[in-house]
Structure 1
């Protein structure tokens, strides 16, 4: 069985048309068909957790219980088991509460890139990307010449200079080496030339189609692109520029239209931890505060994993979940996770970015040149693309030799992330941009 997708190589810049969440509107016209992305063989079998109707969050689970005994009690599948916190998350088809239940929630499709704004993973009023080009010659070397191996697109250098990225990469020649970043998203173009040698191909997983091939899939068959197509590849392309030697683990939890259910996202977080991820990037969000997802994030933090979430693109104070509880000062998970909003290259709040007391940090998120499936590049806009900037910077810091295995270490790293940020300077939002804008150089300088 081969995965279905469109294979295109573009000629020139093609304008991407805004897609409304209701799925009306048009996708971009495509260029001439070319070799582009090659289909991947489907291998392995993965349980499709979307088939389960309910998720159960357990608390006070005694040490005598194991995943096997919990499965016997509840049926279904154990998604998260944390014996230290004495918590667990299970998915099954029963709404009845068991002896350890703290909450029973419907396994709804609440997590989506479409929640990031009024248009497909966009600023809320424009398409997420302003156009795409063929990959061409690939990345360009830094213009300043201060790094020997890090490369990027020249279009991004203004944003990278604003956060001191070139200096940070020069200070940390490891550039993320030895650090695995999980991208829990719509999948990744595994054959993109900009990602070769940077992917954990052995442990990728596709929860949507139930196999071990986390490639992007275009859900449209009419020559247009489905709403979520390319989102995960764009996220991965940003991480690859910020931390060029980090390893990216692709976990596909969102379908071609950018939607995913609670059980799938929770299990992917737990799986990322088991497969050695030190940073988890969640460029997705929901208006619903789901206890099962929060428990999965907390379990990851408890093992010293840092979690980065996009804050949302509604332009108001309604920071999405799980970014909202990531607030360092007031959020229930703020000591090991971070919610990220977007600013311009001059540190002004992006018009689409959420803000307010639940926003912890900001990063550049407008017209970031990054990767698009089929060997293409794209200019991406949204908090979905500010989040991986922070994920990449955390990978840089971790590659200095930090060995974090528990929540106290994650708390210390996140504390330094916030304390080294450039304080917010947008006069229109004096108290609405959290600790300010991430500073790559100032953070890694703490460890070098």
Structure 2
């Protein structure tokens, strides 16, 4: 039996509607300068041996160092720091550490609402789980065909870079590797592991990928999840934290990295010369690109949401979208149950590689939000004790679409017990996708709708599946 809670929750909580980057501290202020965070890139992908001393000499405080890609995060309250640090030997550039945030859905012009639903406690089934009546998305991508072949994601590890995961929810209990999961954001989680979800986004995304099917299975119900918390309870984070998350996941040799998040980077600031701002943009993207390249070389497939601002990035000459638009990340747009582009989904030929269902997707809701006394910002005032019950929720966004693609990648990879290289998985998914738009790759659907059944049942590993570069 299901019992509706008396409050409504926005179903169109997006996959991170992106805020623009702030480009450094204001100058000429009579007040004390606020410390700013910067990305410092070393020349040739390396940082100088005496890097920390160099930064201190120009008023910088080193926060994080990523020696494997030659990038560091440095804080300084001195407005002259970026110029002074960039002039030091071995330093290629110094640029602001980008900010991002979760949107409420208002950016797409409307908000759809769904009541939270309470499902009774159940017991995980052995073998193939039953698809819930609300899961049109799993039916549309034909997961039953893949499951029927015996491939449910077993042997595959998926890192979920998000707001954390509610590892106590019945769909996710035992699914999350507690030893390897990490929080990279400084927030206290009362009574739970640091990587527990204090938002709702990461839990829902994780359940779409690999919910075990007590009531509502994910795409790959036997895959293992690793929570990498890069966004805090407000759904905000920084580019450097995402870079750290990518590198951490790569160090674990995970098979898939899901990033249902993103950045909008403006091409130019008011008053800036175009040439100068293009340089700033390229250096911010290069820091992220270095991390993505490192993870790809480690064998991971990286998947990211396209975004939810209904923007055609082929026409938008003022902004750059990342990480979905950074090759070889698989950028994912969202489709409806009638196979059209979801009205909120961003699109563009260089942004979208694949598409997947992304409207009214049913999945696990965070028990910390819905089932404990309300504490702190954003908690529903009607949250209650859910003893013996667990909350679920319909959500829409390219976040859910990206999670679906990550799950299908896990199904395919389970054929090799998690040993297929990420670039091979990327190519297989594209070549087995259902072409929805104009023939070939198009701006709205990329190579088409991801198809789990076709990817598994018609699987043949040919040399042309392993070209690693099928999107130019």
Q: Shorter-chain TM-score: which interval?
A: 0.7 to 0.9
Name the CA distance, whole Å, in 1 between partners of 2:186 and 2:3: 27
Equivalent of 1:380 in 395, 406, 418: 395
Where in structure 2 are the equivalents of 1:65-144 lying within 5 Å? 70-71=51-52, 74=55, 76-82=62-68, 87-93=69-75, 94-95=81-82, 96-97=85-86, 98-109=88-99, 111-114=100-103, 117-118=105-106, 125-127=110-112, 130-137=114-121
Equivalent of 1:176 in 153, 156, 167: 153
Name the CA distance, whole Å, in 1 between partners of 2:428 and 2:238: 33
Equivalent of 1:345 in 301, 314, 337: 337
Deviation for aligned residue 1:73: 5.2
Counterparts in 2 of 1:399 and 1:54: CA distance versus 1, 3 Å: same
Q: Could you say what the CA RMSD is over the residues aligned between the two structures, in angstroms?
A: 3.2
Deviates more, 1:72-81 or 1:96-105: 72-81
Q: Secondary structure at the match of 2:424?
A: helix
Task: Tell me if the contact between 2:305 and 2:324 (Cα under 8 Å) persists in the aligned partners.
Answer: no
Equivalent of 1:396 in 411, 430, 446: 411
Aligned residues: 369
Deviation for aligned residue 1:210: 5.5
Counterparts in 2 of 1:257 and 1:60: CA distance versus 1, 3 Å: same
Name the CA distance, whole Å, in 1 between partners of 2:411 and 2:50: 40
Deviations 1:211-267 (A, max 9, x none): 7611122xxxxxxxxxxx200000001011111111111122112221101211111
Task: Tell me if the contact between 2:263 and 2:323 (Cα under 8 Å) persists in the aligned partners.
Answer: no
Name the CA distance, whole Å, in 2 between partners of 1:345 and 1:18: 16
Deviates more, 1:129-138 or 1:258-267: 129-138
Name the CA distance, whole Å, in 2 between partners of 1:89 and 1:124: 38
Name the CA distance, whole Å, in 2 between partners of 1:150 and 1:18: 25
Name the CA distance, whole Å, in 2 between partners of 1:347 and 1:418: 17
Deviation for aligned residue 1:18: 8.4
Counterparts in 2 of 1:137 and 1:77: CA distance versus 1, 3 Å: same
Give the structure 1 partner of residue 423 of structure 2: 411
Deviation for aligned residue 1:419: 1.2
Name the CA distance, whole Å, in 2 between partners of 1:378 and 1:316: 26
Deviation for aligned residue 1:164: 1.4
Equivalent of 1:246 in 202, 220, 223: 223
Counterparts in 2 of 1:301 and 1:209: CA distance versus 1, 3 Å: same
Counterparts in 2 of 1:17 and 1:172: CA distance versus 1, 3 Å: closer
Q: Secondary structure at the match of 2:8?
A: coil
Task: Tell me if the contact between 1:181 and 1:248 (Cα under 8 Å) persists in the aligned partners.
Answer: yes
2:284 is aligned with 1:302: no
Q: TM-score, normalised by structure 2?
A: 0.70
Q: Secondary structure at the match of 1:386?
A: helix
For the pair shown, which has the larger CA radius of gyration, 1 or 2?
A: 2
Deviation for aligned residue 1:323: 4.1
Give the structure 2 partner of residue 360 of structure 1: 353
Name the CA distance, whole Å, in 2 between partners of 1:311 and 1:282: 10
Q: Secondary structure at the match of 2:194?
A: coil
Name the CA distance, whole Å, in 2 between partners of 1:139 and 1:439: 29
Counterparts in 2 of 1:17 and 1:70: CA distance versus 1, 3 Å: same
Counterparts in 2 of 1:214 and 1:104: CA distance versus 1, 3 Å: same
Give the structure 2 partner of residue 231 of structure 1: 201
Name the CA distance, whole Å, in 2 between partners of 1:112 and 1:139: 36
Equivalent of 1:185 in 144, 162, 172: 162
Q: Secondary structure at the match of 1:182?
A: strand
Name the CA distance, whole Å, in 1 between partners of 2:150 and 2:116: 31
Task: Tell me if the contact between 2:162 and 2:261 (Cα under 8 Å) persists in the aligned partners.
Answer: yes
Give the structure 2 partner of residue 203 of structure 1: 180
Task: Tell me if the contact between 1:186 and 1:232 (Cα under 8 Å) persists in the aligned partners.
Answer: yes
Deviations 1:382-436 (A, max 9, x none): 101110000111111112116658xxx4323211211111112489x97532111
Task: Tell me if the contact between 1:172 and 1:396 (Cα under 8 Å) persists in the aligned partners.
Answer: no
Give the structure 1 partner of residue 272 of structure 2: none
Give the structure 1 partner of residue 140 of structure 2: 162
Task: Tell me if the contact between 1:163 and 1:439 (Cα under 8 Å) persists in the aligned partners.
Answer: yes
Task: Tell me if the contact between 2:12 and 2:397 (Cα under 8 Å) persists in the aligned partners.
Answer: no
Name the CA distance, whole Å, in 1 between partners of 2:430 and 2:105: 26
Name the CA distance, whole Å, in 2 between partners of 1:101 and 1:404: 37
Counterparts in 2 of 1:353 and 1:17: CA distance versus 1, 3 Å: closer
Task: Tell me if the contact between 1:131 and 1:378 (Cα under 8 Å) persists in the aligned partners.
Answer: yes
Task: Tell me if the contact between 1:57 and 1:104 (Cα under 8 Å) persists in the aligned partners.
Answer: yes
Task: Tell me if the contact between 1:138 and 1:194 (Cα under 8 Å) persists in the aligned partners.
Answer: no
Name the CA distance, whole Å, in 2 between partners of 1:55 and 1:170: 48
Name the CA distance, whole Å, in 2 between partners of 1:259 and 1:18: 19
